[in-house]
Amino acid sequence: MGFFGCHLSASGGNTAMVKTALSIGANTFAFFTRNPRGSKAKKEDAADSEKAVSMLQSEGFGKLVAHGAYTMNLCTADAEARQFAAEILEDDLRRMAALPGNFYNFHPGSHVGQGTEAGIYQIAAALKKALAPGYPVTVLLETMAGKGSEIGGRFEELRAILDAVGSKDVGVCLDTCHVYDAGYDIVNDLDGVLAEFDRIIGLDRLKALHLNDSKNPFASHKDRHECLGKGSLGIDTFRAVVNHPSLKDKPMILETPNELPGYQAEIALLRSLES
Ligand code: FE
Ligand code: FE
Ligand code: ZN
């Protein structure tokens, strides 16, 4: 049985998220470590987190996939803003120690005209520093659609960040909408895309997936998520993904335009696709 879940609101605390996940048939989930479009983080509650950790274990959850704020751009051009983003990253990784052994995924960043090479260097520098304290969390870079000056739309760019960081403990989260929008044809050639991922990054680095259909056609570089089966990827793509031997054991997170009942229905749909 696969690990399926969706993004949940973190505002009620960690135990509340586990309970919500259970109520919609999820056995993993994602949450923003702070306001996704700002930087404010919730007050930490050790007792609540301890309870959540024991529930995650007793209920057999897969690894959680926390998500860094969209506003955290580690390669923004302004040095002060870049430093602020790096501090947010460090604080997020420290906070993840309350839920040890899970994943923290983030968008590598947009170089906003500085160039891909400079951006990769800045992202890697911030990551190296934030990883230094050795908190019990595995950091994941998300595959991006390649919109604007976004870094991470090409597997080679993610590889370059991993190389520059040097830590074997950094992985990748594959977003189905993003890779398709970026020009990796998982609709017609999932095996070919995974072979390329393996050649450039290594499948051992692939730790989690975001399952989203796309509102836009192949290679559009747009990044607009659609509900499963209602976009250009289609249900057969998700059937192939949830059953693929290289993918089926990974946590799979929905980021589709849904409220909880819609997520519950999509999780049930994903389970019905499993063979
Ligand atoms: Fe994301
Ligand atoms: Fe995503
Ligand atoms: Zn997206």
Q: Residue 167: its pLDDT value, please? A: 85
| Known catalytic residue at 37 | yes
Q: Residue 52: its pLDDT value, please? A: 98
Q: Residue 12: its pLDDT value, please? A: 95
Q: Ligand 1 centroid vs 229 CA: distance in angstroms?
A: 20
**Segment (H or E) for 210:** strand 206-211
Q: Ligand 3 centroid vs 137 CA: distance in angstroms?
A: 22
User: Is there a contact between 121 and 164 (Cβ–Cβ < 8 Å)?
Assistant: yes
Is pLDDT of 41 > 90?
no
Tokens of 241: 């993904």
Between CA 224 and CA 227 the distance in angstroms is: 10
Q: Ligand 1 centroid vs 233 CA: distance in angstroms?
A: 18
Between CA 77 and CA 172 the distance in angstroms is: 24
| Known catalytic residue at 7 | no
Select from 105, 90, 118 the least CA-distant residue to 144. 105
User: Is there a contact between 28 and 65 (Cβ–Cβ < 8 Å)?
Assistant: yes
User: Per-residue pLDDT tens for 199-249?
Assistant: 999 999 999 999 999 999 999 999 999 999 999 999 999 999 999 999 999
Q: Ligand 3 centroid vs 211 CA: distance in angstroms?
A: 10
Please report which ligand is nearest the Cα atom of 145: 3
Tokens of 90: 């460090």
The dihedral built from the CA positions of residue 33, 161, 125 and 129, taken in this order, carries a sign that is positive
User: Is there a contact between 61 and 3 (Cβ–Cβ < 8 Å)?
Assistant: yes
| Known catalytic residue at 175 | yes
| Known catalytic residue at 244 | no
Give CA torsion, residues 87, 153, 115, 147, to 10 deg.
-90
Q: Ligand 1 centroid vs 167 CA: distance in angstroms?
A: 22
Q: Residue 240: its pLDDT value, please? A: 98
User: Is there a contact between 6 and 263 (Cβ–Cβ < 8 Å)?
Assistant: yes
pTM of the model: 0.97
Between CA 5 and CA 66 the distance in angstroms is: 12
State the angle between helix axes of 14-23 and 260-273 in degrees (0 to 180), rounded to the nearest 10. Answer: 60
User: Per-residue pLDDT tens for 153-208?
Assistant: 999 999 999 999 998 899 999 999 999 999 999 999 999 999 999 999 999 999 99
User: Is there a contact between 157 and 108 (Cβ–Cβ < 8 Å)?
Assistant: yes
Q: Ligand 3 centroid vs 56 CA: distance in angstroms?
A: 27
Between CA 244 and CA 241 the distance in angstroms is: 5
Tokens of 106: 């983030």
| Known catalytic residue at 189 | no
Question: Order of strands, edge to edge, in the sheet holding 65-67?
Answer: 3-6, 251-254, 206-211, 171-175, 137-142, 102-106, 65-67
Of 142, 150, 181, 266, which residue is the catalytic one? 142
Contacts (Cβ under 8 Å, ≥6 apart) of 243: 273, 274, 275
Amino acid of residue 96: M
> Residue 212 in 3-state DSSP?
coil
Q: Ligand 2 centroid vs 68 CA: distance in angstroms?
A: 11
Of 90, 157, 175, 181, which residue is the catalytic one? 175
Rounded to an integer, what is the distance from CA 53 to the centroid of its chain?
A: 20
53: phi then psi, degrees, rounded to nearest 5: -60, -45
User: Is there a contact between 110 and 149 (Cβ–Cβ < 8 Å)?
Assistant: yes
Please report which ligand is nearest the Cα atom of 178: 3
Of 34, 95, 205, 210, which residue is the catalytic one? 210
Of 34, 82, 95, 107, which residue is the catalytic one? 107
